[in-house]
Amino acid sequence: RENGTIPMHAKIASFKAKKLQGGCHYKCSRVKLYYSDRAEGYPDTVVIKLLYHDHPILERIRLYVHLMLGNYSIKEVQYLASYRIESHFYKHQYYNLKGLNIPEVYFNIEDCFNYKFGMVVQDLSKLEDGQPFGFNMLDTVLCVRQLAKWHATNWEKTPSKKEVLTWNLGGYWTGDKRLNAKMEVREGWLDTIANFPSLKLAKHYPNLGEKLFEVLKWLPDKIHDIRKKHKTFIHGDFKISNLFLDNGRPRYGTLKPTTPSSLKDDKLVNASEGKFVSFSPLVSSSAASASDYESSPDPTSLVGPGGLTLPEPLSLDPGAAGVVSVGEKGGRPVGRTMSGNSILSGGESGGELPSSMLMSPGGTSYQKKRVKKMKRQEKKRQQNAMKSNVSLESLLAAKNRQNELLEMINHSRGSSESTEQVYTIDWQWFGFGNCAIDIAYFLNTSLHVDLLPIQDELLKLYYDTLMQSGKFSYSWKQFWYHYQLCHIDFCLYAIVCKWARMTPEDFNEYQMECKDGMHLRSLTHMHNMIRRAAGILDEWGSDLSQPPPDPQ
């Protein structure tokens, strides 16, 4: 009533509340309102977020003093600051939201000293949320492009503290946040290996914990450094559970994880089987049905456990995209995926092939020998694949599906301004930072499993949109390096604070409840994150005690 959304004379006869999942520490409910004199424009439903801790008076004083002093190393003080930042964000909105939208806020109360926070906001439940299996291709492209536009609009903004309350470095895991926990990454990696034996992490990445511990000596300072040099506003928690899309299409996330009953729950997440189950359509706008279920090869098999090399900026010409080779390693398919002259990940050999070798078998004698060797290896891989439980037909189907996805990305580059909108909630970790923090986090937490093999192309789409939307100097090589840093930082946090404390059963539970991001619901997403991190570290070289030189 205070902001005029519901007129003062309107009478609410009754209401019905339903508790919602998520909200971290908040208690969230969707409330359906029943009016005695309903009129056009009244909201049918609203969402209420409430948070209250009844601490003794001395504890309130202690927390408030630490909050005012900025002692965020104390976890509860850090959370208290995050609630204050979100409330301030919704209340004042001194930022440019071009590219992103927020729900309408009907009521907002903030009382830091007494630890009381509450909001009544617009209900976005009728919009597409990508649940339960991740955003499809159309919606992923929409999120990537709109995020880039928002980052570009706020590039190098330097408002005073009186204008906006933010984190100096946005994100809940970034830089030196959770640093004490991150320092235990060696032990955390051993726990992760033990918790997920089906992934055979000890076999493929035995020294990952030691390598990450070396990187941790300089990584927090580096994350702060790239914030200073290439700064924008970041959301800090830009993942599937905080995004709602007004895309003008019917919702596709209608299937529940428990259906059909003939599928075991572990097949939703068990990457070790070399297969996954595709539940939501990638390009179709219609709702999924039981006939949409199909078995396909594990998409991380197209990513490969080897080194991750810097891809050149891609034209993504559909005619040149999507060369897939498949092999067998450790009892499951492994392969390389190439688009244009870019290897999405290094596969068994790693590295990058010259474009002349990809586009034409001719060239130098050395290249000809390499091509012949590749053909022999390809023939052997195909023979092995025929012996495995993954048919060549399914592999070709995966390749064709990937080609279609790449064509969609290419088409989206020339599209006009979209009327579709991306709504974002949960701004507790809003602040300054490098743009790569948000996009690296989104790609690891929000994609449908079919899209994992084309993460690099989505990164290129993001970068192209960023540069088209703003006027600033920021090379592709700089962005790619910053993305690598942010991916390592998030993977480090996930190992120590999440995976080391979880089991496959926890992943199943998170999937059933649509809780948090896909990296905590799908072992395929988890394994993909680890593989990419291992590839990045291999690319940085054997001496990880010092950061790689900054590209220009």
As a 3-state breakdown, the chain gives helix, strand, coil percent values, each rounded to 5, of 45, 15, 40
> Domain check: are 109 and 149 in the same one?
no
The reply to whether 130 falls in a domain is no
**Residues 112 and 141 placed together within one structural domain of the fold:** no
Answer whether residue 449 is part of any domain. Answer: yes
Same domain, 98 and 212: no
- Assess if residue 249 is contained within a domain: yes
Tokens representing residue 130 in the block: 């990508």
* pLDDT of res. 248: 78
Mean per-residue pLDDT of the chain: 76
> Rounded distance, CA 268 to CA 506, Å?
13
**Predicted local distance difference test score (pLDDT) of residue 312:** 39
- 365 plus 394 within the same structural domain: yes
Angstrom distances, CA of residue 386 to CA of 305, 333, 382, 392, 397: 21, 11, 6, 6, 15
Length of the chain: 552
CA angle 99, 452, 254 (to 5 degrees): 70
For residue 379, the model assigns a pLDDT of 66
Q: Give the type of residue at 485.
A: L
* pLDDT on residue 351: 35
Are residues 87 and 155 both part of a single domain?
Answer: no
pLDDT tens per residue across span 304-332: 333 333 333 333 333 333 322 223 333 33
Domain check: are 50 and 143 in the same one?
no
Q: Are residues 118 and 145 in the same domain?
A: no
| Structure confidence at residue 93 as a pLDDT band (50, 70, 90) | low
What is the pLDDT confidence band of residue 136, given thresholds at 50, 70 and 90?
A: very high
Structural domain span for residue 32? 12-122
Structural domain contains residue 1: no
Domain assignment of residue 419, yes or no: no
Task: Yes or no: say if 135 and 443 are a contact pair by the CB < 8 Å rule.
Answer: no
Split at pLDDT 50, 70, 90, the class of 414 is low
Asked if residue 246 is part of any domain, the answer here is yes
Residue 150 placed within a domain? yes
Is residue 219 over pLDDT 70?
yes
Same domain? 390 vs 463: yes
User: Which residue type does 546 have?
Assistant: Q
Residue 129 lies in a domain: no
User: Does residue 285 surpass a pLDDT of 90?
Assistant: no
- Taking residues 33-55, what's their average pLDDT? 85
The 3-state secondary structure of 284-299, one letter per residue: CCCCCCHHHCEEEECH
Q: Where do the DSSP E strands lie in 447-529?
A: none
| 531 and 439, same domain (yes or no) | yes
Residue 178 reports pLDDT greater than 50: yes
Average pLDDT estimate for 272-290: 33
Do the Cβ atoms of 173 and 489 come closer than 8 Å? yes
Report the number of distinct structural domains present in the chain.
Answer: 2
Same domain, 155 and 75: no
Q: Say if residue 116 is in the same domain as residue 214.
A: no
Same structural domain, 93 and 189: no
